[in-house]
Amino acid sequence: MKDYKKKLLFFFCFFSFNILFANVNDSIVLGDKTPKKLSDYGFFDDLVSQSPSKGVLPYDLISPLFSDYTDKIRFIYIPEKGFAEYRPHEVFNFPEGSVLIKTFAYLNDHSESNLDAQLLETRLLIKKNNKWKNVSYIWNEEQNDAFLSIAGKTISTQFVNIEGAIQDVRYRVPNINQCKECHQRNKSIKPIGPKARNLDKDYSYEDGVMNQLDKWHNNGWIKKDIRVEAMTDWTNTLASMNARSRSYLDINCGHCHIEGGSADTTGLYLDFTEERKIHLGVYKKPIAAGRASNNLKYSIVPGDPDSSILLYRMNSLDPGIMMPESGRALEHKEGTELIRKWIENL
């Protein structure tokens, strides 16, 4: 396998929106035929190093979704003269032809690591005909392109964990229907991450550090002076336990556990803006959890995490019990420890 580590890390730290050479092929983006290769779209000037083409901008989230400890490289493409409408509690209303691009990888960038970086898959959400279309591409063994995936795939691989040890993982690329489990709301496919509240942070562009919302405004994509109650980086130990935990639950659970989401009927709503304690799970009895409840009575029992169904399901790796029920094969130990402490202090 080729060594992409230096290229990818160089891009992540220093690449700019301004030094670009290629162009996105809008006719392919909006066409009826789905390309077989990721390279066909023209999103990247250098596909292997994930160097974006003209009009494609990297971005990051304050609190990202956990996906088996993968590194995620995110980009957004908005066509020329396109404008995204701000919505306070939703993702922006992006214009026709917009694309959200996310590459999942293991960069394995620990100094003692002898594992090369590995690109796993690149997922696209494409806005056309006023609807979002989800498309996934799996990277080949040569790591020089990614190819259209309909059925999904399990990739047995290794990565260097946060302790510097090599860890095995069976990384699961979802099939085209499984994507809907997380991205569906009110029977329509929706993006999850790029809400203003999860973007309101600085990003290190090559031409300097700038707030991402300000950068989007400078590009003509959004209106000026959008300021919201920003989410909290759940890893920030200087922030309050409640803010960290609510942000973690929002991005990892709130896209399904929200009114209109795929878990609407549970009545357990974990969106960042939810304030009703019963819908946050406090002394809430499960609707139809079956064995997934482990004979526990309530979703959350303040002060008693071991009696809380929420934490029990987050800890599990049993497909019939675990939550989230897709998108991971590993327990997120740091995340579950955060929620444990949060429940202890409720």
What pLDDT is attached to residue 206?
Answer: 77
- Of the pLDDT bands very low, low, confident and very high (cuts 50, 70, 90), residue 273 is very high
Report if residue 109 sits inside a domain: yes
Q: Which of 218, 249, 282 is the last residue of a domain?
A: 218
Looking at the structure, do residues 99 and 184 belong to the same domain, yes or no?
yes
**Judgement on whether residues 193 and 260 belong to the same structural domain of the protein:** no
| 16 has pLDDT over 70 | no
- Least confident among 66-80, 106-120, 127-141, 270-284: 106-120
If asked whether residues 205 and 307 sit together in one domain, one would say no
Per-residue pLDDT, 183: 61
Residues 46 and 118 grouped into a single domain: yes
- Going by pLDDT thresholds of 50, 70 and 90, the confidence category of residue 186 is low
**Does 255 share its domain with 145?**
no
Q: Is the pLDDT of residue 13 over 60?
A: no
Do 167 and 297 lie in a common domain?
no
- What is the DSSP secondary-structure string of 272-322? TT---TTTTTBTPPPSS-GGGGTT--BSB-TT-GGGBHHHHHHH---TTT-
Q: Is the pTM of this model over 0.85?
A: yes
Collect all residues with Cβ–Cβ distance below 8 Å to 20 and sequence separation of at least 6: 45, 52, 53, 54, 55, 56
**Number of domains observed in the structure of the chain:** 2
**Looking at residues 127-147, what average pLDDT do you find?**
95
In a domain, 236, yes or no: no
pLDDT at residue 307 greater than cutoff 70: yes
Task: Give me the domain span that covers residue 273.
Answer: 241-344
Identify whether residues 202 and 70 lie together within a single domain.
Answer: yes
Considering the domain boundaries, does residue 233 fall inside one? no
- Least confident span in 103-107, 252-256, 303-307, 310-314: 252-256
Assess whether 137 and 28 both reside in one domain.
yes
Position 310 in a domain: yes
Query: What one-character-per-residue DSSP string does 78-114 give?
Result: --TT--PBP-TTSB-BPPTT-EEEEEEEE----TT--
**Would you place residue 111 in the very low, low, confident or very high pLDDT band (cuts 50, 70, 90)?**
low
